[in-house]
Structure 1
């Protein structure tokens, strides 16, 4: 079971603790770049000591998932070598992000009618309720992925799970232990991915001679980056990680992850449209996209590039609208959108979110504000190198936070929410 897996991980970690076990590697295997961060855990703080980055070839990734294991391993080795040289230390434990349209993250609510409502609720009963939620969520994820792939035998695995809220007889509680009541409603976020994708990540870690301590759905990692260790956080926002192959969206409400959605349009889609419309190579199109604001680009060329970008933006905005429209259990969507990922560097994309009417049919109370996430806004992580300097490193920083959660947990024994979250993490 999930809880047993977690306890085994903790036991293994406790019995084999050695110098260097406080070092975490966050490996963001993106469609366009591999980013490696090496960090040391010091109490509640995470300090980045080394940063590495390596460009991926076109054939290495497809829609956010690994397509060529050997090619990806080579790129990861280069990024890691750069980070290790700067850090002066080699990490043993790695957290790798997973993305793609077949990664399913959603918040499920289970209502449990207690057979003995007068008996105070204890931890063993909470563990029983949590396992019921996860079993139900796994069945739904497998059915959805099987429908999308046309493969009824597809195998899925839980990659992330986190407690969102607990209600007893309609009353919200932060610590349900000791409460009496009949109806317990538990909201838990779960993310599942096909085993074939997870197997590829396990192979990469093995080839790199690193111990894979966690796989994280990338939008979940982004949410962990901004939430930090505050169990009572009221943070509320829509987080959008615009990568090379996919756009990953997480909705966070009062410190809880309501769900995550992914769709297969990212930075490469814009480049491909430019290349096709202007009849030029992919590399030429990428250079034009990145340098569109350069004064040396001819006005006629700039106009053609802008038209191609605008064409893809219409499709991308429709994808954002569709993804957010699937959060039908939320009365109102957060009025703040925070962006990260290389695709969010495109100024036209940010401007389109800020000015166009894509949000009108969605349950916003007003036009949402839009901004990129700054590394300085990532809770509890300090970049000692000053190289993880912009929004493109936020996902990798979030992976470090997931690694911290997995390895260390929290010393706050009074917060059941944190204690249960430690049980839930793999």
Structure 2
């Protein structure tokens, strides 16, 4: 079996294990827990790993406290992270002390302080602050290629060479734009369109309507990978849950495009894998 295929299987199995513990946490006591906090535009996710970095619990909540990768409702973000933390502590019967967090590529000077402050204010000791593609790659284990993180507000593009990020970009197109298109096409309120697109049963019907937005994302990808030797594209982020999105991007870019079984949880798990028991200075 090729190393590439093994990487795919590791990623998908880790996500499956996480989905299982979201529904039924593993209550066996661990002397240490590592948490990843993903402050997404559409959804906040907490992933908890045990001392061996195996998934034991997780929780998520759809929210509107982050826009285009920036925290716009600080108090609301703190409240949600604290509530999810307390919910998981009750389920595990243990205190969650250490956490890592992440920021979109290229926003470290703008919003890293806000993200760190949110997680600290929720009761965690922050041990690591990663950029999202680096976090995702802890799960994907990519040596060469492009990680495309399509979130609620933005599309983050990161190019890796020999396992290192050598280029990052972040463009304002994502799941919010999907919801706006659905809202107009179906004459729905925005919030109803947002909920409608999350249902996998609606994806086949929605794909033709959303195809122009997906093609725009593919054009953005093409613009940023131009001049780099990119032979594979790896999709992560909640918006990539749209069935068939990978086929449109592959046709438009002409580059093999891989999507994990559930791309929504790749980055949160990678953030948790980047957590340690040594707080940041």
TM-score, with normalisation over the residues of structure 2?
0.79
Q: Paired residue for 1:82, among 83, 87, 99? A: 87
Q: Does the 8 A contact of 1:237 with 1:251 survive in 2?
A: yes
Gaps of 5+ in 2: 1-29
1:35 and 2:45 are equivalent in the alignment: yes
Match of 1:398 in 2: 270
Which of the two has higher C-alpha Rg? Answer: 1
- Quote the Cα distance in structure 2 between the aligned partners of 1:223 and 1:243: 16
Match of 2:240 in 1: 344
1:212 and 2:117 are equivalent in the alignment: no
Q: Residues 12-51 of structure 1: matches in 2 within 5 Å?
A: 22-42=32-52, 46-51=53-58
Question: Size of the alignment, in residue pairs?
Answer: 253
- Quote the Cα distance in structure 2 between the aligned partners of 1:370 and 1:256: 19
Q: Paired residue for 2:170, among 262, 281, 295? A: 262
Q: Paired residue for 1:56, among 47, 50, 63? A: 63
Match of 2:258 in 1: 371
Residue deviations 1:268-309 (CA, integer Å, cap 9, x gap): 1111122134332012222432347449x9xxxx4xx44541
Match of 2:154 in 1: 246
The alignment partner of 2:88 has SS state of: helix
Q: Report the alpha carbon displacement of residue 407 of structure 1 after superposing the two structures with TM.
A: 4.5
Q: 1:260 to 1:372 in 2, by over 3 A?
A: same
Match of 1:224 in 2: 138
The alignment partner of 2:152 has SS state of: coil
The alignment partner of 1:41 has SS state of: coil
- Quote the Cα distance in structure 2 between the aligned partners of 1:264 and 1:89: 39
- Quote the Cα distance in structure 2 between the aligned partners of 1:294 and 1:394: 23
- Quote the Cα distance in structure 2 between the aligned partners of 1:368 and 1:407: 40
The alignment partner of 1:318 has SS state of: helix
The CA RMSD over aligned residues, in Å, is 2.8
- Quote the Cα distance in structure 1 between the aligned partners of 2:202 and 2:132: 32
- Quote the Cα distance in structure 2 between the aligned partners of 1:288 and 1:400: 30
1:315 and 2:219 are equivalent in the alignment: no
Q: Report the alpha carbon displacement of residue 235 of structure 1 after superposing the two structures with TM.
A: 2.7
Q: Report the alpha carbon displacement of residue 402 of structure 1 after superposing the two structures with TM.
A: 1.9
Residue deviations 1:113-159 (CA, integer Å, cap 9, x gap): xxxxxxxxxxxxxxxxxxxxxxxxxxxxxxxxxxxxxxxxxxxxxxx
Q: Which has the higher helix share?
A: 2
- Quote the Cα distance in structure 2 between the aligned partners of 1:204 and 1:74: 9
Q: Does the 8 A contact of 1:50 with 1:85 survive in 2?
A: no
Residue deviations 1:159-215 (CA, integer Å, cap 9, x gap): xxxxxxxxxxxxxxxxxxxxxxxxxxxxxxxxx6125x1221232123212111221
Q: 1:255 to 1:289 in 2, by over 3 A?
A: same
- Quote the Cα distance in structure 2 between the aligned partners of 1:338 and 1:97: 18
Q: Report the alpha carbon displacement of residue 355 of structure 1 after superposing the two structures with TM.
A: 2.5
Q: Report the alpha carbon displacement of residue 254 of structure 1 after superposing the two structures with TM.
A: 2.5
The alignment partner of 2:51 has SS state of: strand
- Quote the Cα distance in structure 1 between the aligned partners of 2:188 and 2:162: 47
Gaps of 5+ in 1: 1-19, 105-191, 228-233, 360-366, 375-389, 409-424
The alignment partner of 1:212 has SS state of: strand
